[in-house]
Structure 1
């Protein structure tokens, strides 16, 4: 996505939503749609969503989050939202990216179920209730699988398959299609998750960290009718970096010293053994000043000490993270008396 408008310092992209018990006026479904330059698709998409949900007599709201559009999307939303009680427009000040747009949508959603989908008409609104029905089986997140995906094979399908396999392997959450935006979430799960950076691709993995139950079902996928795709091969590097972050969070979020301490201990032990070996050689009268092994021993000892220090700092940061936000280190699904 391209930035637009006046540039100001980017705020922290963490929008925390506090879960509240549903009331009689709470809509069942909140449909969150991030928008960036989709003015041609918007009218058709909003009407299609409304038509499907009204036909099934489901209470709903549509939340369109404009992420710095410059093609008339903002003007259309500003014109339509006051006229439609089922449409809420959230206009961001500039282009922050899809993760921030989704976080803003989550923060303004009031439904008991939150469904996300793209604004380019490639996702089919008819699948919304299928996802919601699957969610009612006891899942916290239901992800769509574009089994018959209508995209370019070389630039979209092949990189996507490689990425999905890699993400499933690293995170332990096996899905066919991490990139599908069409997903359904329980409001309780969303209240426990904070989004930042570009972690929208890893929402199922983040849900697994929070103890969520996850399912995946096939959904329809249509070829793009208007405009051009906002994604390219340049996102591969960002996906890899975010994957490393999610992997660390999944395994060591509450115990970072375990990873830093392990490798620090290994490095310090190996460096000490080499140092003792060189000391014995020195006592036997051999010269060790020009041996590369001496430099290696010193580097390993220093690296081990630094890793231990990183581990201690990470432990302090984790405690600040949990205690400052009042976030527990566990999640309760239910209490049975």
Structure 2
């Protein structure tokens, strides 16, 4: 099977983990949905180390479908890594994501794409499962709490952060990088990269095959990841303001306490056995430690940006040929930096990675 010479207009990325029962129906329904609209497409199906034969089935399905591109990861890395593996290989000017469990409705993909096509002021369309079909309260209630908490903390107001069905302009995907479990915060990362975001209601179905990969313990991980996201969005380029601010709040009362005890000592009072002395010393030491951590963070930030390790800002350029599908050869291949360094290009569809 030969590589597709003309880059598709839409790249659909689906991370997969132990969904062998859903794959045939998923591929068929995505094809039917995309054939109903004029844009060409590819489906990048990323098997995240499944143990139920999902990867083998993907290769079989790809033999007769040149638009299906399986990516087989060496082991289970998690949903964020699965999505990033797909993002590294997209070639379309639009990128769509959805889950493989068929709770998302593939027929809603043209709805999201149409919004991007007709509204130049929108860079990302996020699905909103307005009528969720999850029966378990243990999924609905934590999800509502998490959505409100994330919206308030990040400033990106969405009803449904957890909906996997989303559509993006390609340049937004090129600007964000996922690791850990940051897939839950893609809208926040996209906004940080300059995306203009809107939300549209989409359909949602109850799971009929396979087993859910989510549990109540996810709530605690979301809180920890949210702390990371708030820090990255507000203090990534100025860590001294974060650590130094905490340090000053700690050190200031510590210095005042020590100054008060010093005055008492001058007037002949014994301060050696006072617990307040220990409190003052500890506050000052903790404050100095936080300020020092902030200074080290500033040095690391300067090294990171001055060595070309990251972008300090993004510029909204007028749409060029790469945005309209007439990509240059380098853009068409969209070789990830790690592959480019080793001379690796795109693999033919149906070839495991």
Match among 26, 38, 44 for residue 63 of structure 1? 44
Q: Deviations over 1:157-195 (max 9, x none)?
A: 111001101111111111000000000011101111111
Distance 2:145 2:205 in 1: 22
Distance 1:322 1:180 in 2: 33
**Is 1:36–2:48 an aligned residue pair?**
no
- What's 1:160 paired with? 143
**Could you say what the CA RMSD is over the residues aligned between the two structures, in angstroms?**
1.6
- What's 1:179 paired with? 162
Structure 2 length-normalised TM: 0.86
**Is 1:300–2:283 an aligned residue pair?**
yes
Distance 1:181 1:48 in 2: 16
Match among 29, 32, 46 for residue 48 of structure 1? 29
- What's 2:152 paired with? 169
- What's 2:177 paired with? 194
**Is 1:281–2:261 an aligned residue pair?**
no
Give the aligned length.
314
Q: Which ranges in structure 1 are unaligned for 5 or more consecutive residues?
A: 1-23
CA shift at 1:244, angstroms? 0.3
- What's 1:9 paired with? none
Distance 1:325 1:128 in 2: 37
CA shift at 1:25, angstroms? 2.2
- What's 1:317 paired with? 300
- What's 2:244 paired with? 261
SS in structure 1 of the partner of residue 161 of structure 2: coil
CA shift at 1:85, angstroms? 0.5
Write out aligned runs for 1:1-337 (5 A): 25-136=6-117, 137=119, 138-334=121-317
Q: 1:334 to 1:57 in 2, by over 3 A?
A: closer
CA shift at 1:115, angstroms? 0.3
CA shift at 1:240, angstroms? 0.7
SS in structure 1 of the partner of residue 11 of structure 2: strand
CA shift at 1:224, angstroms? 0.8
Distance 2:318 2:199 in 1: 27
Q: Deviations over 1:19-56 (max 9, x none)?
A: xxxxx922111110100011110010111111111122
Q: Which moved more, 1:313-322 or 1:209-218?
A: 313-322
CA shift at 1:283, angstroms? 1.0
- What's 2:350 paired with? none
CA shift at 1:325, angstroms? 4.0
CA shift at 1:321, angstroms? 3.0
Distance 1:209 1:325 in 2: 19
CA shift at 1:208, angstroms? 1.2
Q: Which ranges in structure 2 are unaligned for 5 or more consecutive residues?
A: 320-353
Q: Report 1 or 2 for greater relative contact order, CA contacts < 8 Å, sequence distance ≥ 6.
A: 2
Distance 1:152 1:299 in 2: 51
Distance 1:303 1:168 in 2: 32
SS in structure 1 of the partner of residue 287 of structure 2: helix
Q: Deviations over 1:269-301 (max 9, x none)?
A: 221111110001011111111111100110111
